[in-house]
Structure 1
Amino acid sequence: MTNKAATKSTMWEFLQSLGKTFMLPVALLAFSGILLGVGSSLSSSAIREAIPFLDNTLLQYLFMWMTKIGLVAFIYLPVMFAIAIPLGLAREEKGVAAFAGFVGYAAFNLAINFYLTVANVLGDPAASKAYGVKSIIGIESIDTGILGAVLVGIIVAKLHIRFYTFKMPDALAFFGGARFVPIISAITLGVVGVLIPFVWPYFAAGINGIGNLIASAGAFGPMLFGTGERLLLPIGLHHILVALVRFTEAGGTMAVCGETVSGALNIFYSELACAETNGFTPEVTAFLSQGKMPAFLGGLPGAALAMYHCAKPENRSKIKALLISGVVACVVGGITEPLEFLFLFVAPALYFIHAILTGIGFMVMGLLDVTIGNTDGNIIDFLVFGVLQGTATKWYLVPVVAAAWFAVYYGVFKFAILKFNLKTPGREVDTAEVDSELEAAFINESGKGAAILKALGGKDNITSLDNCITRLRLTVDNMDLVDADKLKAYGALGVVKLDAHSLQVVIGTQVHLVKNEMQALMTATAS
Structure 2
Amino acid sequence: MMEKLQRFGGAMFTPVLLFAFNGILLSFAIAMQSELILGTLASEGTFWSNIWFVVESGGWTIFNNMEILFVIGLPIGLAKKASARAALASFVVYMTWNNFIAGILSVWGNQFGVDYSQAVGGISGLKEIGGVKTLDTNLIGALAIAGLTVWIHNRYFDKKLPEWLGVFQGTSLVVIIGFFITLILAFITAWIWPPIQDLISQAQGVMANSGSIGVGLYVFLERILIPTGLHHFIYQPFEYGPAVVEGGLVPYWMANLNEIASSTGSLREIIPEAGFGLHNVSKVFAPIGIGAAFIATAKPENRKKTFALVLPTALTAIMAGITEPFEFTFLFLAPQLFAVHAVLAGLLSFTLYSLGVSAVIGGGLLSNISYFIIPMASNHLSAVLLFFGVGLLFSVIYFFVFRFAITKWDIKTPGRETSGEAKMFKKADYREKKAQEKNSNDNRSSHNEKSTSIDPNAEKAIQFLEGLGGANNITAINNCATRLRVSVADESLVADPDFFKQHGAHGLVKKGTALQVIVGLDVPQVRDYFEKEVENQKID
TM-score when scaled to structure 1? Answer: 0.86
What is the one-letter code of the residue matched to 2:152?
L
**Cross-structure match for 2:365:** 379
1:292 aligns with 2:305: no
**Cross-structure match for 2:514:** 502
Q: CA deviation at 1:130?
A: 7.7
**2:205 touches 2:244 (CA, 8 Å); kept in 1?**
no
Question: Within 1, Cα distance between the matches of 2:193 and 2:42?
Answer: 52
What is the one-letter code of the residue matched to 2:244?
G
Range that drifts further, 299-308 or 213-222: 213-222
**2:24 touches 2:370 (CA, 8 Å); kept in 1?**
yes
Q: Trace 1:239-258 onto structure 2 (pairs within 5 A).
A: 239-252=232-245
Per-residue deviation, residues 438-471 of structure 1 (Å, max 9, x unmatched) = 6999xx9685444433332333222122222211
Question: Within 2, Cα distance between the matches of 1:506 and 1:492?
Answer: 6
1:47 alignment partner, one of 37, 41, 58:
37
What is the one-letter code of the residue matched to 2:342?
A
* SS across alignment from 1:22: helix
1:190 alignment partner, one of 183, 193, 202:
183
Per-residue deviation, residues 45-85 of structure 1 (Å, max 9, x unmatched) = 222327x5999944333211121111112211112112211
Q: CA deviation at 1:272?
A: 2.7
- Any stretches of 5+ residues in structure 1 without a counterpart? 1-10, 253-260
What is the one-letter code of the residue matched to 1:292?
N
Question: Within 1, Cα distance between the matches of 2:190 and 2:45?
Answer: 50
1:33 alignment partner, one of 23, 26, 48:
23
**Cross-structure match for 1:132:** 125
**Cross-structure match for 2:486:** 474
1:151 alignment partner, one of 131, 144, 147:
144
**2:10 touches 2:478 (CA, 8 Å); kept in 1?**
no
Question: Within 1, Cα distance between the matches of 2:274 and 2:536?
Answer: 49
Going from structure 1 to structure 2, the CA distance change for 1:148 and 1:273 (only over 3 Å counts) comes to farther
**2:297 touches 2:403 (CA, 8 Å); kept in 1?**
yes
Report the count of equivalent residues. 502
**Cross-structure match for 1:199:** 192
**Cross-structure match for 1:270:** 255
Q: CA deviation at 1:150?
A: 0.9
1:214 aligns with 2:207: yes
**Cross-structure match for 2:301:** 314
Range that drifts further, 367-376 or 80-89: 367-376
1:65 aligns with 2:54: yes
Question: Within 2, Cα distance between the matches of 1:119 and 1:514?
Answer: 50
* SS across alignment from 1:344: helix
Question: Within 1, Cα distance between the matches of 2:241 and 2:479?
Answer: 26
Going from structure 1 to structure 2, the CA distance change for 1:321 and 1:203 (only over 3 Å counts) comes to farther
Going from structure 1 to structure 2, the CA distance change for 1:157 and 1:124 (only over 3 Å counts) comes to closer
Going from structure 1 to structure 2, the CA distance change for 1:133 and 1:453 (only over 3 Å counts) comes to closer
Going from structure 1 to structure 2, the CA distance change for 1:54 and 1:425 (only over 3 Å counts) comes to farther
Question: Within 1, Cα distance between the matches of 2:315 and 2:63?
Answer: 28
Going from structure 1 to structure 2, the CA distance change for 1:291 and 1:29 (only over 3 Å counts) comes to same
Question: Within 2, Cα distance between the matches of 1:447 and 1:170?
Answer: 43
2:474 alignment partner, one of 462, 465, 487:
462
Going from structure 1 to structure 2, the CA distance change for 1:516 and 1:249 (only over 3 Å counts) comes to closer
Question: Within 2, Cα distance between the matches of 1:168 and 1:420?
Answer: 65
**Cross-structure match for 1:8:** none
Going from structure 1 to structure 2, the CA distance change for 1:385 and 1:126 (only over 3 Å counts) comes to closer
* SS across alignment from 2:80: coil
**1:214 touches 1:221 (CA, 8 Å); kept in 2?**
yes
Question: Within 2, Cα distance between the matches of 1:127 and 1:362?
Answer: 38
Per-residue deviation, residues 270-294 of structure 1 (Å, max 9, x unmatched) = 3137799747643132111x4422x
**Cross-structure match for 1:4:** none
Per-residue deviation, residues 480-501 of structure 1 (Å, max 9, x unmatched) = 2223443465254443233x32
**Cross-structure match for 1:100:** 89
What is the one-letter code of the residue matched to 1:263?
G
Question: Within 2, Cα distance between the matches of 1:473 and 1:210?
Answer: 34
**1:163 touches 1:180 (CA, 8 Å); kept in 2?**
yes
* SS across alignment from 1:172: helix
**1:342 touches 1:493 (CA, 8 Å); kept in 2?**
no
What is the one-letter code of the residue matched to 2:295?
Y
Per-residue deviation, residues 472-521 of structure 1 (Å, max 9, x unmatched) = 201011122223443465254443233x3212122333334544454444
Question: Within 2, Cα distance between the matches of 1:69 and 1:319?
Answer: 43
* SS across alignment from 2:87: helix
* SS across alignment from 2:509: strand
Question: Within 2, Cα distance between the matches of 1:148 and 1:181?
Answer: 19
What is the one-letter code of the residue matched to 1:304?
G
* SS across alignment from 2:38: helix
1:234 alignment partner, one of 222, 227, 232:
227
**2:464 touches 2:500 (CA, 8 Å); kept in 1?**
no
**Cross-structure match for 2:327:** 340
**Cross-structure match for 2:173:** 180
Going from structure 1 to structure 2, the CA distance change for 1:60 and 1:25 (only over 3 Å counts) comes to same
Question: Within 2, Cα distance between the matches of 1:63 and 1:383?
Answer: 17
**Cross-structure match for 2:451:** none
Question: Within 2, Cα distance between the matches of 1:206 and 1:84?
Answer: 28
What is the one-letter code of the residue matched to 1:464?
A
Question: Within 2, Cα distance between the matches of 1:173 and 1:466?
Answer: 31
**1:296 touches 1:331 (CA, 8 Å); kept in 2?**
yes
Question: Within 1, Cα distance between the matches of 2:141 and 2:472?
Answer: 38
Question: Within 2, Cα distance between the matches of 1:61 and 1:53?
Answer: 9
What is the one-letter code of the residue matched to 2:339?
F
1:171 alignment partner, one of 147, 161, 164:
164
Going from structure 1 to structure 2, the CA distance change for 1:523 and 1:83 (only over 3 Å counts) comes to closer
**2:362 touches 2:368 (CA, 8 Å); kept in 1?**
no
Question: Within 2, Cα distance between the matches of 1:142 and 1:497?
Answer: 42
Question: Within 2, Cα distance between the matches of 1:524 and 1:178?
Answer: 24
Range that drifts further, 312-321 or 70-79: 312-321
What is the one-letter code of the residue matched to 1:454?
E
Q: Percent identity?
A: 29
**1:343 touches 1:424 (CA, 8 Å); kept in 2?**
yes
**2:157 touches 2:170 (CA, 8 Å); kept in 1?**
yes
2:350 alignment partner, one of 359, 363, 378:
363
TM-score when scaled to structure 2? Answer: 0.84
**2:42 touches 2:48 (CA, 8 Å); kept in 1?**
no
**1:21 touches 1:88 (CA, 8 Å); kept in 2?**
yes
Going from structure 1 to structure 2, the CA distance change for 1:481 and 1:206 (only over 3 Å counts) comes to farther
Q: Trace 1:483-502 onto structure 2 (pairs within 5 A).
A: 483-487=495-499, 489-490=501-502, 492-498=505-511, 500-502=512-514
1:89 aligns with 2:78: yes
Going from structure 1 to structure 2, the CA distance change for 1:158 and 1:382 (only over 3 Å counts) comes to same
CA RMSD for the aligned pairs? 3.2
Going from structure 1 to structure 2, the CA distance change for 1:123 and 1:469 (only over 3 Å counts) comes to closer
**Cross-structure match for 1:412:** 401
